[in-house]
Amino acid sequence: MLGFTLPDDLKQLYRQVANGGFGPSGGLAPLEEAAKRYRDLVANPPGERGQRWPDHLLPINLSEPGVDCYDLKSGWIIFWDEESLADGPGDRVWKRSFRKEAESLGAWLEDWLSRPPRGEQINQELEAALRENMKTTLAYWRAKSPEERAEFGLPEEGWEEELFGHLGIDLKDL
């Protein structure tokens, strides 16, 4: 199917865990799909100058654009950033489009498992952005005099809670 034997860790993952459908960056590709993508990349050099696909890089995930690859020589996970090829057709751009993602398949999966679920991660990012905006707004209003705040209907005491108390965030930390 591929013309080479899969490394033990990758073979074990496919045989004992699942034939794709889980993991980082869109999930591990089923082995048949990874093999097809590998054959396509080898047969149709993707570099703008016809730079050949490195025959030691096996694409293993379903993300687009770009792809995580198992480096059959080193065991590293290498990310190929296909979009970076828009920087030009040169060999330097081609080489820069590949970067080390993780030192092993295990490290790649551990990193994925250590991240919060995507929905939770988005909520954390939104909360951090909200806090930053609140800090900016509070700094603006703290620089105003009580009279200036009163012109906007804010009370002399407790104006911070009037602005943001309904959000349930401790304003003392801001």
Six-digit token pair at 103?
A: 């030192």
* Tens place of pLDDT per residue across the chain (174 aa): 677 889 999 999 999 999 998 988 788 999 999 999 999 999 998 888 889 999 999 999 977 778 999 999 999 999 999 888 888 888 899 999 999 999 999 999 999 999 877 667 778 788 888 888 888 888 898 899 999 988 988 898 888 888 887 877 777 777
Residue carrying the six token digits 């990012």: 125
CA dist 77 and 51 (Å) reads 20
Is pTM beyond 0.85? Reply is no
* Contact call for residues 29 and 20 (beta carbons, < 8 A): yes
pLDDT at 158: 86
* Contact call for residues 66 and 96 (beta carbons, < 8 A): no
Q: Which residues does 43 contact at the CB level (< 8 Å), separation at least 6?
A: none
Phi/psi of residue 77, nearest 5 degrees: -100, 125
* Helix, strand, coil tally for the chain in percent (to 5): 50, 10, 40
Q: What are 120-153's pLDDT values in tens digits?
A: 777 878 888 888 888 888 889 889 999 998 898 8
Six-digit token pair at 18?
A: 């699942």
